Structure 1
Amino acid sequence: MKRNTRTFATRLLLAVGLISLSAPAFADFIKDSKTSLELRNFYFNRDYRQANAAQSKQEEWAQGFLLRYESGYTEGLIGVGFDAIGLLGVKLDSSPDRAGSGLLKRHSDTRKGTQDEYGELGLTAKMRASKSVLKIGTLMPKLPTVLANDSRLLPQTFESGQLTSLDIDALVVDVGRLTQVNQRDSSDYENMTITRTGAKGFTSRQVTSDSFDFASLNYKWTGNLATGYAYGHLDNVYDQHMINLTYVLPVATGQSLKSDLRFARSTDDGGSNVDNKAFGAMFTYGLGGHAFGLGYQDMSGDTGFAYINGTDAFLVNFVQISDFASKDEQSWQVRYDYNFAAIGIPGLTFMTRYLNGSNIDLGSNRNEGKEWERDTDIGYVVQSGPLKNIGVKWRNATVRSTNFGSDLDENRLIISYTLPIW
């Protein structure tokens, strides 16, 4: 497990130093601490269906260990503490001709396939005053402009600082800066880049960036209505402004209509050609254990939607494989969910959806690009007995495209269990 030892030592000294400032109040620091170990057993199979595919399939199996520690805070006007996370991925099955699933770290010489194990140790110093918390170190932000990805064996992490404030009732404020990223199949931190999946039409003079600034406001007007604004700036690459609104309309007993509206404006910051307007709307009707969803997403401008490579995108049609965010793409989604708790089987859930995208601009003298994706998830969490809290999930996806992209069938099987240690 490679690690920048100077950064590690700096973090450790910072955390210990902060704690020592409030040594008389150390009791709350210990009393409110918690530790857990999450186990993930992950099988991934992606079968490329086109005859000219460079690799016929990706197929790997791995075991993940995620040890999390969160301290309490010392007493006083300013409370201090620290968090730690230890991540380890172990190869169970892979080969050079089946690698690349995102589960395992690859050798620098890709002909050798993947490494037997990889991981990360991260520390985060934190300070709390009133209802505001400042964290510096290893973080996994979940904000509209930067959504750390956790869809494989180990999560994506960032070197960052983030201030979160809840001092004003119903208002959540987040501000901060990311400096480097550790991807989900890596143990090395690196500068950030813009995603280039799909046909987004990006060109850039600035290939990487070591600075992403963000700020967001989310205000809950009532129990059913919330609005938000978010800003993101990947230095020398792009600027981004986002607004969103969610509203849940009670229709009758056991019935509701949820509206989720999102708009983003992205422009270049001198080192790229980013120029995009992204609009999305998702409407979900809940009826007992059933949920029926209908979504629409529209891209306009000179490029597709911009976001940091490896992260999730804050888009209604960002799904298991595709983001449906290529240049000029228009897409729609139909979705159905069912929670079997409604018929007396708690812990069992089902989801299926279909998305279709068209009008993709592939450049001069090329035909319009099209794509569709179908996803199905079935999950169960054991509710009682010696196997309580063990979760099993099967995720299936099919993707087909015209004039660009890859045709593929994908299956993921994940068995997970979180063990509270204290």
Structure 2
Amino acid sequence: MRKTSLALAVAASTLGLSQMAFADLVGDTKASLEARNFYFNRDFREDAGQSKQEEWAQGFIFRLNSGFTEGTVGFGADAIGMFGFKLDSGDGTAGSGLLVPDRSSGGSQDNYSDLAVAAKVKVSNSTLRVGQMQFKNPAIASSDGRLLPQVFQAGHIVSQEIDGLMLEAAHVREVNHRNSGDYEDIAIARGGAASRGITTTGGTTTDSFDFIGGTYKLTKELTAGYYYSNLDELYKQHSFNLVHVLPLGDKQSLKTDVRFARSTDDGNRSNVDNKAFGAMITYGLDGHSFGLGYQKMSGDTGYAFIDGTDPFLVNFVQIRDFGNKDEKSYQARYDFNFASIGIPGLTFMTRYLTGDNIDRGAGLSEGREWERNTELMYVFQEGALKNLGVRWRNATVRDNFSRNVDENRLIVSYTLPLM
């Protein structure tokens, strides 16, 4: 914490900031350190090939979000410091995504690290950031499903000048994946190429991704969103979203989440052509939530998105996204928050998804798949272990076109507020 304050003081002095401006900069700064212990086990249910992926690793994630200097134009900076190291891996069990692959041995490297820093400028209620950062919107969503988060090299502007309206735009150049210590060009996700149906010429990567869009709160209960995005020479996409939350009475609500995306090729480097529709309806009753989802792909290919990111699909879950060519899928989900019966911090979730009608290509049978997830999580609410979270995630996947999987993830995390 002393080092952080010293670094900010030096930066303030360099910029010639007044003592009062520096006080505002530091006073609004928030910093935290998360220790994340991650065990991953994916068991492939066939004899051929690698029988399982099994690794155990420890990660540390330092996050700092500064305030802004005083004045019409405010200056600040954000940072994410990441370090991960191997606790156990070997004997042909690498490839979990927790650690950086070691090309020479076929295993995983012992450790890796990265520092993501973004300078930011604020005028009124609009903020420009330039540097390394994470995103979460219908056009692009950084993955944080392993040891360390995925970050991008970009310029990003967010404007909230009108009450209820949020607008944003960005130009993205490179990505540092969650199991990498280096930045690289951005790739289109192809998944299982046969079932996704996406083909490319001249490579799958580019150094340019742009998006513009935003959300508007139409009423207290209804929010609408629209984004346009372009992965240069690979795809263009229009994404629409409507979220409606209807109060039904004491401790009851009905939430409707509708999503639609239209993806097409951008030039002649890909054959992307997809319409993705999805809807999720969730009924909440005290600590219980009951959800039903439907998702449908149509067009010449499956859903298009940036490789390594979380796709904007209602049926994207622990392992699969059910976004293959012509696929129709259904989801049933149940959640329970034990705070409703006097055990705050304990939550449970289970869901089942099934998909069919997958076009696997000429001469191949219709593709079918299903996935079952279970998750149990507890976050200590008080005492010496306050903020310590223990999370178990289990998944089972079966299909008729790739490898069947049984998977377990155990994540123990502790977040320490520093400022």
Which TM-score band (shorter chain)? over 0.9
Please give the alpha-carbon distance, in whole angstroms, between the structure 2 residues aligned to 1:347 and 1:83.
Answer: 29
Contact 1:19 1:74 in 2 (8 A): no
SS of 1:383's equivalent in the other structure is coil
What's the offset of the Cα at 1:262? 0.5
- Which deviations, in whole Å up to 9, do the C-alpha atoms of 1:35-55 show, x marking residues without a partner? 211000000000000232x11
Q: Does 1:47 align with 2:50?
A: no
Aligned to 1:264: 261
Counterpart residue type for residue 27 of structure 1: A
- In structure 2, the CA distance between the partners of 1:170 and 1:97, relative to structure 1 (3 Å rule), is same
Please give the alpha-carbon distance, in whole angstroms, between the structure 2 residues aligned to 1:132 and 1:117.
Answer: 38
Contact 2:168 2:214 in 1 (8 A): yes
Aligned to 2:3: none
Aligned to 1:333: 331
What's the offset of the Cα at 1:96? 4.9
Aligned to 1:241: 238
The within-5 A match list for 1:9-408 is 16=11, 20=15, 22-23=17-18, 25-52=21-48, 54-111=49-106, 113-198=107-192, 199-206=195-202, 207-270=204-267, 271-402=269-400, 404-408=401-405
Please give the alpha-carbon distance, in whole angstroms, between the structure 2 residues aligned to 1:249 and 1:172.
Answer: 22
Say which is worse superposed, 247-256 or 143-152, in terms of deviation.
247-256
Please give the alpha-carbon distance, in whole angstroms, between the structure 1 residues aligned to 2:105 and 2:137.
Answer: 34
Structure 2: tracts of 5 or more residues without a match? 1-6
Over 6 Å off, 4+ runs: none
What's the offset of the Cα at 1:34? 2.2
- Which deviations, in whole Å up to 9, do the C-alpha atoms of 1:179-207 show, x marking residues without a partner? 00000000000001111113211111242
Contact 2:12 2:22 in 1 (8 A): no
- Which deviations, in whole Å up to 9, do the C-alpha atoms of 1:341-376 show, x marking residues without a partner? 010000000000000000000000000010000000
Say which is worse superposed, 80-89 or 321-330, in terms of deviation.
80-89
What's the offset of the Cα at 1:17? 8.9
Counterpart residue type for residue 412 of structure 2: I
What's the offset of the Cα at 1:212? 0.4
What's the offset of the Cα at 1:249? 1.3
- In structure 2, the CA distance between the partners of 1:18 and 1:44, relative to structure 1 (3 Å rule), is farther
Structure 1: tracts of 5 or more residues without a match? 1-11
Q: Report the RMSD for the aligned CA atoms in angstroms.
A: 1.5
Please give the alpha-carbon distance, in whole angstroms, between the structure 2 residues aligned to 1:336 and 1:35.
Answer: 34
Percent identity over the alignment is 58
What's the offset of the Cα at 1:23? 4.5
Please give the alpha-carbon distance, in whole angstroms, between the structure 2 residues aligned to 1:391 and 1:314.
Answer: 27
TM-score (norm 1): 0.94
What's the offset of the Cα at 1:108? 2.4
Contact 1:19 1:81 in 2 (8 A): no
What's the offset of the Cα at 1:32? 1.6
Please give the alpha-carbon distance, in whole angstroms, between the structure 1 residues aligned to 2:342 and 2:12.
Answer: 52
What's the offset of the Cα at 1:19? 6.8
